[in-house]
Amino acid sequence: MWWKLFFLLLYFFLLFILARFFEAIVWYETGIFATQLVDPVTLSFKKLKTILECRGLGYSGLAEKRDVRELVENSGELMQGELYSALKNEKEQVGSDSSTTFNGEMHFYELVEDTKDGIWLVQVIAQDRNPLLSTANWGKMVQKVSQFGIRTGTFNCSSDSRYCHKRGWMKSTLIMSVPQTNASKGKVMLKEYNGRRIETEHIFKWMTAHVASRIKTIRFSEQLMDDWYQMEKQPVKMFLFARLLQPPSFFSALSIKFTGRIEFIFVDVRNWDNTTCLDEIGVQQMPSYILKTPEGIYRYGNSTGEFISLHAMDAFLRSVQPEVNDLFILSLVMVNLMAWMDLFITQGATIKRFVVLISTLGTYNSLLIISWLPILGFLQLPYLDNFYEYSLKLLRYADTTTIASWVRADWTFYSSHPALFLSTYLAHGLLIDYFEKKRRCSNEDQNANNLEWLSSLWDWYTSYLVHPIASFQNFESDWDDDPNFLLERLAFPDLWLRPLVPIDYIKNLPTWKFRLAQSEGPNRVDRDNRQKTMANPNGGTSGDQEVHHCSSEVLNDNNAGCSAAMKSEESWSGGEEQDTDWSQWPCGMLHCTECVVCLENFETDCLVMGLPCGHVFHQQCIVVWLAGGRHCCPVCRWPSYKKKPTRQHATEQLEPE
């Protein structure tokens, strides 16, 4: 998970560098930056009208270019980035129609009347009547208002005539839905258009007048000073100082979107002779967009990406005063981008990559939703109000820096160019996949094809159904130390289902030949006869000899048991000593001369095999034991696929009684 987070942060850093590279290319080719101011005098009449439409200012009745240019200047400074975005949006809106068709009362209520923080424009078509606006004019109206976040729809009374009679819609008309109060999630009021002129420009002016009436308007300096220094419950305010009759439509639309979070105030300074109060509060030029917070004032429009448009100011205000839904969406995007890294980090078959990806997406999104539930509960506690306020204070400090303005500008740029974002993400993922292949070049499983991986997945699935306890264990071929030792030991009593363990680890167990240090003395038959004679309690005199063998009983100390049990004071011949060549044994293996599986001694040059616990057996005997499903040591029951932690014990030898 941490590697995925690292790769995601690295990708964001590369996007930041790439955006600066694009800016350098544009500056090299054209000699201008996105933040460079544009003189409205140099623009054509058509481009000036495009800027006014994007800002939401009516220009009907302005026939001369000079009047249109003054209106642009009075609404705010124009930058190259805003001009480019306005022309680009104008081309993209041609032919686009996002209007909703309502099919009844409940559909209308859910989308329009139950929407507390949005504006709707609905064309009501009376039964057996023609619509108020023709199809062409309605399409133009939809394109004009949609760029300000105003949603549109059509309600045909023929689909629900009873509701139209209830509302009194006997003729075709236009209905606008606007929140009634400034409180969050307040009531909604419906306003009907009663004008005689049905031109698009007049209808839009009617809408903007109603929306602008919700914004607090200040027209006198005394009223401004009282409101500026007044301590209210709403600590964040957005002021617009301009020489306009009413605020632009994008400013009014934002006031509805941020209802209950930010208070929008329009200051009309057209008839002000004394500007001393403006100098006192720090307003130096007109027009000015001032964000007033408890930490101070911030002039919007001086940093990168801060254009006089709906999307740019919306991104700025969301970062300064976010709501819980904004943070949830941000975390959702981050988590899913991080989960998609698994598609490139995972090596092997293609089907394996997508199976791991789907599993990761489900796991990460489930954990995200589960983790947000207690957070939402904690935020509603009254004891955390101070914590919430201090968090917003730190966030406002961070979001009013230059780096934050760059990040917002990059977010706006890449969100308007999704193809570039997806292509760079894919290129970044392919680079990660390339380096992962180089790093795991020694792994043989990464070249497995789809059929082989599906076969192994089916084996695991059937194993999980038959032996569910296997899901709690990690079977590794390199015998890494397992901290959950208790869970491993609980899997072996017969009260539990025995796990189905792969037997690939058997080939990695140490195997060697059993050899004796001396070859003199009696032959093997004589040694066997002497051993049988000594094992018989009634047969012969064993004298002071005592032979100790490894048994199947569990020893208290595995390291000291067999090393002393195999010590004999005299050789089988009675005079010559025949010792085992222990120098041939791997380090950590316990010294013994008998296999407890078949209860026979090791012969010279026979193959023996050791387990991670240190006990040694005939190779053929222990392989049959392990392949039969008993993946533990016959002596101490230690798992045969897990490396045993090293313990320092003093080697004790058994002394004859």
Residue 155 near residue 90 (C-beta atoms within 8 A):
no
Fold held by 216-320: Glutaredoxin (3.40.30)
Strands 100-102 and 151-156: parallel
Task: Report the percent of the chain where pLDDT is more than 90.
Answer: 4
Please compute the mean of the pLDDT values over residues 502-525 and round it to a whole number. 68
Give me the half-sphere count of Cα atoms (radius 13 Å) on the Cβ side of residue 458.
Answer: 6
Q: How confident is the model at residue 332 (pLDDT cuts 50, 70, 90)?
A: very high
Lookup: tokens for 645: 């932690």
Q: Say if residue 292's pLDDT is above 60.
A: yes
Give 247-288 pLDDT, tens digit per residue: 888 888 888 888 878 889 998 888 887 778 888 888 888 888
Q: Above 70 in pLDDT, residue 459?
A: no
For residue 179, the cross-strand partners are: 188
- Rounded CA gap, 639 and 620, in Å? 19
CATH class of segment(s) 499-515+584-644: alpha beta
644, pLDDT greater than 50: yes
The confidence score (pLDDT) of residue 557 equals 40
pLDDT in tens, 372-390: 888 888 877 777 778 888 8
Mean pLDDT, the chain, whole residue set:
75
Query: Distance (Å, rounded) from C-alpha 114 to C-alpha 112?
Result: 6
* Rounded Cα–Cα distance for residues 256 and 305 (Å): 23
pLDDT in tens, 173-231: 898 888 876 655 567 788 888 877 888 888 888 888 888 888 888 888 888 888 887 76
Helix (H, G, I), strand (E, B) or coil at 237: strand
Q: For a pLDDT cut of 70, what percent of the chain falls above it? A: 74
Which one has a higher pLDDT value, 501 or 574? 501
Q: Is the pLDDT of residue 446 over 80?
A: no
Q: Which pLDDT tens digit goes with each residue over 120-155?
A: 899 998 887 888 888 888 888 888 888 888 888 999
Q: pLDDT at residue 525 above 60?
A: no
Lookup result for tokens 């990406």: 305
List the domain boundaries for the chain. Answer: 35-95, 96-213, 216-320, 499-515+584-644
pLDDT of residue 485 exceeding 60, the answer is no
What is the rounded average pLDDT of the residues 419-423?
A: 89
Intrachain domains 96-213 and 216-320 with the same fold: yes
pLDDT at 490 over 70: no
Averaged pLDDT for residues 633-652: 70
What would the pLDDT profile of 622-640 be if each residue is shown by its tens digit?
888 888 777 889 888 888 8
Q: What is the pLDDT of residue 593?
A: 84
Task: Give pLDDT, residue 141.
Answer: 87
* Cβ 123 vs Cβ 155: under 8 Å: yes
Cβ neighbour number for residue 107 with a 10 Å cutoff: 16
List helix spans (H) across 340-448. Answer: 342-345, 350-379, 385-399, 402-416, 418-439
Average pLDDT of the segment spanning 594-605: 87
Q: What are phi and psi of 151, to 5 degrees?
A: -90, 150
> SS3 of 223, please?
helix
The yes-or-no verdict on residue 93 having pLDDT over 60 is yes
pLDDT for 57? 81
Winning range, highest mean pLDDT, from 30-39, 192-201, 466-475, 610-619: 610-619
Helix (H, G, I), strand (E, B) or coil at 161: helix
100 pLDDT above the threshold of 80? yes
> Is a pLDDT exceeding 70 seen at residue 456?
no
Q: Which is more confidently placed, 12 or 62?
A: 12
Tokens read off for 159: 């689909």
Task: State the DSSP H helix or E strand holding residue 178, giving kind and residue range, or none if neither.
Answer: strand 173-179
pLDDT value of position 366: 92
What is 292-326 written as a DSSP string?
EETTEEEEETSSTT--SSHHHHHHHHHHHS--HHH
| Residue 538 pLDDT > 70 | no
Cα-based distances in Å from 124 to 10, 163, 175: 52, 12, 7
Tokens 């300064």 correspond to 320
Q: Is the pLDDT of residue 546 over 70?
A: no
Among 322-331, 461-470, 644-653, the range with the most confident prediction by mean pLDDT is: 322-331
The identity of residue 447, as a single letter, is N
Contact 330, 167 (CB under 8 A): no
Which are the contacts of 278, defined by CB distance < 8 A and separation ≥ 6? 241, 269, 272, 284
* DSSP character at residue 349: -
How many other C-beta atoms lie within 10 A of the C-beta of residue 301? 20
Query: What confidence score (pLDDT) does residue 646 get?
Result: 64
- CA end-to-end distance (rounded Å), the chain: 61
Q: At residue 579, does pLDDT exceed 50?
A: yes
Q: Are 503 and 629 in contact (CB under 8 A)?
A: no
Preceding omega of 537 cis (within 30 degrees of 0): no
pLDDT at 310 over 50: yes
3 state SS of 297: strand
- What are 186's two structure tokens? 């307040």
- Res 231: pLDDT: 67
Residue 478 confidence (pLDDT) = 36
> Count of CB atoms within 10 A of residue 21's CB?
10
Is 51 in contact with 87 (CB distance < 8 Å)? Answer: no
314: nearest Cα among 325, 305, 303, 324: 305
Digit-coded pLDDT (tens) for 360-369: 899 899 999 9
Cα 316 to chain centroid distance, Å, stands at 23
Q: Do residues 15 and 414 touch, judged by C-beta distance below 8 A?
A: yes
203-236 burial string, b = 16+ CB within 10 Å, else e?
A: bbbbbbebbbebbeebeebeebeebbeeeeeebb
Q: CATH classification of 96-213 is 3.40.30.10, yes or no?
A: yes
pLDDT of 582 over the 50 cut: yes
CA distance 58 to 145: 12
Amino acid at 629: G
654 has pLDDT over 70: no
